Chains A and B, each alone.
Chain A
Amino acid sequence: MPPKGKAAAKPKETSASASKPSSAPTPPSTISERTQQRIEATNPPITLSSGLSSLSPTEKTLWINSRFARSPTLRAKLGTKAQRDLWRHVNEASLPIRSLAPPSKPITATTTIWGTDKSGRDVGTYTPTQFSERTSKRARLTSLAAASDAFADLRRRAQLRIPDPLTGEDPVLLEADVEAERARRKEMAALRGELYGERTGTYASDPEWDDVTPVALEEPEGALAAIAYPDDYAEAIGYLRAVMLRKEYSPRCLRLTEHVIGLNPAHYTVWLYRASILFALGVDVPEEMRWLNGVALANLKNYQIWHHRHLLVEQYWPVIEGDEGKREEFARGETEFITRMLEEDTKNYHVWSYRSFLVRKLGLWKSAGERERRLVEEMVKEDVRNNSAWSHRFFVVFSDPEQSTEGVGATEFDPKVPGEIVDREVGYALEKIGWAPQNQSPWNYLRGALVKGGRKLGSVKGEVEGYVRDIGGEGEDVRSTHALDLLADIYAEEGDREKADLCLRRLAEKWDPIRAGYWGWRRKMLEADKRD
């Protein structure tokens, strides 16, 4: 029962002074502040911090009256007179009859009754203007989502040919609808990102990919070597797994493989999947080759690209095999591409390997006026130390089926190699040694050519001796350690072990001390040969 009588009149003064600030509230600067003001405005100016018993009798009356004023259930228990009394007191004390429930905890800087935004900021700290902007964005997102649902519904009805119930017409999904939906998704993705920090991937927001559920990556605890992937990679991989699983071979999947390859060209199955799509769709091989050229130029060190290229050539082979014109055109295109690649990286292993594959596949040994050998000769002229070019020349000359025996090892004598070819190659190597005597490439080539031709090493003794002077004597001079090395072998071949040993000793002592252990071993081998 509320206390009756005059006692209630008194609190008027206290409440008047307490309610004074709320009568002219300063405009709130944040949402939380506005909430606080509203709570204050709708609750009696009494703080019930340490229980009802701590209140003064007038405060107690005020508090109880405010409770009764707000609760019809409580009021129903009062008699008519008591109710009248109650309303009179309420009126006099101008007590609020509606209430905004105060928060269970006092509003502080860390309370987030409004939630947090994407960056973890309390929305309560927004200014009212910022808050209303946020609210309208949310409303916009909701309306877009509704429109998007309508699109999905229309598409479904169009697919199932469910006629419009009012007009009875079959719904038609226009390309313009899809375009509009694409734009809508884009806006929704932007809004979701802005409001909630949600990242909507490129594929998730593309209506074309709605029918694909990405196969997400699940890793058990204790994953090793986890990588901080870019978000778009993780998403693209999820879609790739899904379409590979259902063996979809379509243009959109071709684009997806291109995307994944761009992010991770070393993905070892995406290439095979791409090949499957190409072959299933019957995509023109030269067109794919042109695309691949760009990828190869951007990823000089990648392995998979080259295997893909091999597969394409094998696929294309039946088309060009019987047509010399087409073969020549293809060879010219590939040679151009190889040249372009080698401009970027003159010693790229994959390119040179592919080049030798092409020579064998297309039989380019002597075609087009020995173009292959001449091109490589140009490269050696540019950089006489380009060992890749030297190796390729050896292959082009000494593996040519016309003038070599199949199956003879690279380090074995091949009687089928014509003598004039051996002469030419030995001369070529000797000439290039003259350009840079310490360059090992032509020295290796020289040895290789002599062995192929079944020549004695001593057949070039005169030329080689030109690079050294007075070994072991006062005026000793060496212009090439490789010459000294070869001379050691030449003298050993002649049976002059002492001279051979001297060369090796001088290499170890003076001219090539970092390989002293190796030269020492060679000297021991000389000894061993003598004993045999």
Chain B
Amino acid sequence: MPHPEDGAPSPPLDRARHLKYWSRCLRSLLPHHYTSSDSNRIALSYFILSAIDLLLPDSSTTPLSPSPSPLPALLTPSDRLHFRHWILSCQHTGGGFCGSPTMTLPPHSYSGWDFSSRAPEMGNPGHANIAATAFALILLALLASSPEEAASAFLDVDRTATLSWLRRLQRPDGSFGEVLARVEGQEGLVVGGGRDMRYCYFAAVVRWMLRGDEDEEKDIDVDGLVEYIAKSRTYDGGIAESSMHEPHSGYAYCALGALAMLDRRAGGERGFDALGRAFPDVQGLVRWLVSRQFVYVDREEEDDDDGDNFTFSEQQAEEDPCVAFNGRCNKVADTCYCWWVSGALALLPSVDQSEDGSNVDLLIPRTAARRFLMEKTQHMIGGFAKHPGGPPDLYHSYLGLAALATMGEPGLKEFDAALAVSKETAAKIEAARNGLAGVAKSNRTDEGGQLGPALLDLGVEIRGQRPPWLPVGAVG
């Protein structure tokens, strides 16, 4: 929420320019240096579509006119349909979504997939990825043109398979991997990806979106996850992949985001049960998070990438300071940390109960922080760069907008810090979640639902023995 005494910040965010940047990303090929993101195209799609969503006016106030819109960023009904099909084409037969069509296979290649051992008969390079799964679900809901339409957004998602895949991604220590694969010479399935707080966050997001509030559905080990996150606390109050590593504001956000998703209730309301269990005392964490801010000073020559971009005396000298954020102590300013830090603060319970203001209002000097983004990393062609003076890229451009939205930028839609999308989209995600949960429930109570196992039992009886490939309770 903007401070009333501040008035509208000036200059205002040039939404048209940013929309132009994002339309280009939406409507034309991305340049070849995105090749290293080829395995995560769903993530890139999320940045593009969610940025456009943030920048466009609220769809409830501007009804879609039948005439073709002059804005190429506006999605037509046929766009919505095609994009939806494309995302669904990345769904993996064994649950979850692959990161890009590169990682999926023609449908016939999946024949011979054994669903109980989750092992393919033949080698199977199509692998679902946890980040892609979270982003794909968000996009399916985002692409619905209204909350009513969103109610059916998840109906094409294989809920049971995805949730069972998700459970298998969890390690005994409570953490999650990104991919499940068979590796020659290794026992069982290898949970790929390092110990990484990002996967914990995505796991909590996917669980919340697909599982609904049903208690009878098998769940991930929530206590294990909370415990793992609790152990990621470091001596200086920050959060890392584990307490033995250096704290990092990206991981801090992911840890708090995961807890926020575990605590999330209907209507975007949240409790603080998981958060309270993992971090009974957040004072040290708040100190560590606010310490990520510093007065940014341009250097003539940046001789060292990691040069300490602060000195004590300069802090005093600046008239209209730019306040930037770093990811770790004594590191350089970077657009994305404006988001990771402000997002993390937004996810903590309001530190000052006596005031109405949010943590972000209280703990971040918004005008100075905004100045850094607007004057230093915003690019002429729209979008934001990682460092001042650099070229814009999808990732930093989206997180720059996310940071501004979290700080209450007037031109942007209100932001849901836990799901990292507009509140409007968050409402659609919730509608999709409820829609899916409703269908799942009616399937369970439906009498026809009992027919499957009954037929199976009949078959087993006729055969006289249970074939080894048929697991107990495979159907139902």
Contact = CB atoms under 8 A, between A and B. Distances in A.
A303 B30 contact: no
> Among A240, A265, A346, A444, which residue has the most Cβ atoms of chain B within 10 A?
A444
Contacts of A346: 306
B16 to A, nearest CB: 22
Interface string B370-397: 0000000000000000000000000000
A409 interface: yes
Nearest to B366: A517
B178 A410 contact: no
Contacts of A316: none
Contacts of B106: 215, 218
B315 A512 contact: yes
A520 B182 CA distance: 54
Contacts of A249: 184
Interface in B115-143: 122-125, 127, 129
A174 interface: no
Given A276-B184, A409-B243, A444 B329 contact: yes
B248 interface: yes
Contact of B39 (A221, A246, A268, A451): A268
Interface stretch (A22-30, A73-81, A160-168, A433-441): A433-441
A521 B231 CA distance: 27
B220 interface: no
A230 B35 contact: yes
B184 A227 contact: no
A409 B233 contact: yes
Given A245-B109, A356-B244, A227 B122 contact: no
B32 A387 contact: no
Given A266-B37, A385-B308, A447-B236, A244 B124 contact: yes
B196 interface: yes
A469 B25 CA distance: 56
Interface in B220-234: 230-231, 233-234
A303 B364 CA distance: 31
Interface in B36-53: 36-42, 44-45, 48-49
Nearest to A244: B125
Nearest to A315: B185
Given A240-B125, A280-B185, A438-B311, A223 B86 contact: yes
A264 interface: yes
Interface in B170-219: 178-179, 181-186, 190, 192-194, 196
Contacts of B284: 411
Contacts of B183: 272, 275-276, 279, 311
Contacts of B235: 394, 398, 410-411, 444-445, 447-448, 451-452
Interface in A442-459: 444-445, 447-448, 451-452
A515 B32 contact: no
Given A225-B44, A307-B193, A268 B129 contact: yes
Contacts of A517: 361-365
Contacts of B470: none
B124 to A, nearest CB: 7
Contacts of A451: 235
Contacts of B37: 225, 227, 266
Interface string B258-289: 00000000000000000000000001101100
Interface stretch (A2-10, A148-156, A204-212, A347-355): A347-355
Contact of A347 (B125, B306, B362): B306
Given A241-B125, A244-B124, A440-B330, A266 B315 contact: no
B36 A265 contact: yes
B433 to A, nearest CB: 22
Interface in A304-332: 306-307, 310-311, 315
Nearest to A391: B246
Interface stretch (B75-83, B448-456, B460-468): B75-83
Contacts of B286: 518
Given A272-B183, A276-B183, A229 B233 contact: no
B472 interface: no
Interface in A343-370: 345-347, 349, 352-353, 356, 360
Contacts of A392: 246
A360 B41 CA distance: 36
Interface string A483-519: 0000000000000000000000000000010111110
Nearest to B326: A387
A117 B106 CA distance: 35
B291 A440 contact: yes
Contacts of A385: 308, 330
A410 B243 contact: yes
Interface in B98-115: 99, 101-103, 105-106, 109
A223 B27 CA distance: 10
B245 A219 contact: no
B29 interface: yes
B179 A218 contact: no
A229 B125 contact: no
A66 to B, nearest CB: 58
A268 B192 contact: yes
B38 to A, nearest CB: 5
A245 B311 contact: no
A43 interface: no
A388 interface: yes
> Among A307, A388, A514, A520, which residue has the most Cβ atoms of chain B within 10 A?
A514
Interface in B143-172: none
Interface string A379-398: 00000011110011011001
> Among B39, B44, B79, B244, which residue has the most Cβ atoms of chain A within 10 A?
B244
B15 interface: no
A259 to B, nearest CB: 13
A75 B170 CA distance: 92
A379 to B, nearest CB: 13
Contacts of A444: 235-237, 329
Contacts of B248: 349
B71 interface: no
A349 B179 CA distance: 21
Contacts of A303: 193-194, 196
B233 A237 contact: no
B321 interface: yes
Contacts of A394: 235
B178 A245 contact: no
Given A224-B48, A264-B39, A517-B365, A269 B122 contact: no
B39 A233 contact: no
A359 B49 CA distance: 43
Contacts of A109: none
Interface string B38-70: 111110110011000000000000000000000
B295 interface: yes
Top 4 nearest A-B pairs (CB, nearest first) are: A222-B82, A247-B123, A448-B235, A244-B125
Interface of B: 25-26, 29-32, 34-42, 44-45, 48-49, 79, 81-83, 85-87, 89, 99, 101-103, 105-106, 109, 122-125, 127, 129, 178-179, 181-186, 190, 192-194, 196, 230-231, 233-237, 240-241, 243-248, 283-284, 286-287, 290-291, 293-295, 305-306, 308, 310-312, 315, 321, 323, 328-331, 351-352, 354, 361-365, 368
7 contacts: A224-B42, A227-B41, A228-B31, A438-B310, A438-B312, A520-B362, A521-B363
Interface of A: 215, 217-230, 233, 237, 240-241, 244-249, 263-269, 271-273, 275-277, 279-280, 303, 306-307, 310-311, 315, 345-347, 349, 352-353, 356, 360, 385-388, 391-392, 394-395, 398-399, 409-411, 438-441, 444-445, 447-448, 451-452, 479-481, 512, 514-518, 520-521, 524-525
Given A222-B82, A225-B42, A438-B310, 18 more contacts: A215-B109, A221-B85, A224-B49, A224-B83, A225-B45, A227-B38, A240-B125, A245-B109, A264-B35, A268-B178, A272-B179, A275-B186, A311-B183, A353-B245, A388-B246, A391-B234, A517-B364, A518-B362
